Amino acid sequence: MIKTVKVAVIGAGFMGSMHASIFASDPRAELVAVVDRDTTRGQALAESIGKGVRVYASHEELLAAETLDLVSICTPDHLHLEPALAIAAKGVNLFIEKPIASTLEDGRRIVEACKAADVKLGVGYLLRFDPRYYKARELIEAGKIGKPIHLYARRNSARTEGPKRYAGTLPLAMHVTVHDVDMVLWMLKGQVPVTAYAQQTDILLGEMGTQDTIAGVVRFSGGTVVTFESAWSLPAGARHMIDARLELIGTEGSFEVQCGDSGLYFADNQSSQEIDTQHWPEIGGKVGGDLRQQLSSVLDWVNGVECQVATGEEALLSLELTQALVKSAETGEVQRL
The least CB distance from residue 169 to ligand NAD, in Å, is 8
Specify the 3-state DSSP secondary structure of 264: coil
Q: Which is nearer to ligand NAD, 130 or 212 (CB)?
A: 130
Q: Which is nearer to ligand NAD, 15 or 46 (CB)?
A: 15
Q: Which is nearer to ligand NAD, 41 or 109 (CB)?
A: 41
Please give the DSSP secondary-structure letter assigned to residue 129.
Answer: G
C-alpha to C-alpha distance for 335 and 297, rounded to whole angstroms: 36
Q: Report the b/e string of 31-55 with b at 16+ CB within 10 A.
A: bbbbbbeeeebbebbbeebeeebbb
Are 230 and 177 in contact by the 8 Å Cβ rule? The answer is yes
C-alpha to C-alpha distance for 128 and 179, rounded to whole angstroms: 9
Specify the 3-state DSSP secondary structure of 121: strand
CB atoms within 10 A of CB 255: 19
Which secondary-structure segment (H or E) carries 104? helix 104-117
Question: Residue 91 — φ and ψ, nearest 5°?
Answer: 80, 25
Q: Which is nearer to ligand NAD, 77 or 314 (CB)?
A: 77
Are 310 and 123 in contact by the 8 Å Cβ rule? The answer is yes
The least CB distance from residue 1 to ligand NAD, in Å, is 31
The least CB distance from residue 268 to ligand NAD, in Å, is 28
Determine the Cα angle at 75 with ends 69 and 78, to 5°.
120
Q: Indicate the burial class of 89 (C-beta count within 10 angstroms; 0-12, 13-18, 19 or more).
A: middle
The least CB distance from residue 66 to ligand NAD, in Å, is 15
Q: Which is nearer to ligand NAD, 55 or 302 (CB)?
A: 55
Q: Which is nearer to ligand NAD, 177 or 191 (CB)?
A: 177
Q: Which is nearer to ligand NAD, 224 or 293 (CB)?
A: 293
The total number of residues shown for the chain amounts to 337
**Would you say the C-alpha torsion 315, 318, 322, 324 has a positive or negative sign?**
positive
Q: Nearest Cα to 179, choosing from 97, 106, 240, 121?
A: 97
Q: Nearest Cα to 19, choosing from 226, 301, 329, 280?
A: 280
Q: Which is nearer to ligand NAD, 170 or 299 (CB)?
A: 170
The least CB distance from residue 5 to ligand NAD, in Å, is 20
Residues that bind ligand NAD (CB under 6 A): 10-16, 35-38, 41, 58, 74-77, 79, 97-98, 124, 126, 165
Specify the 3-state DSSP secondary structure of 250: strand
Q: Which residue of the chain is nearest ligand NAD when measured via CB?
A: 13
The least CB distance from residue 230 to ligand NAD, in Å, is 13
The least CB distance from residue 275 to ligand NAD, in Å, is 17
Determine the Cα angle at 279 with ends 183 and 98, to 5°.
50
The least CB distance from residue 43 to ligand NAD, in Å, is 12
Q: Which is nearer to ligand NAD, 2 or 64 (CB)?
A: 64
The least CB distance from residue 36 to ligand NAD, in Å, is 4
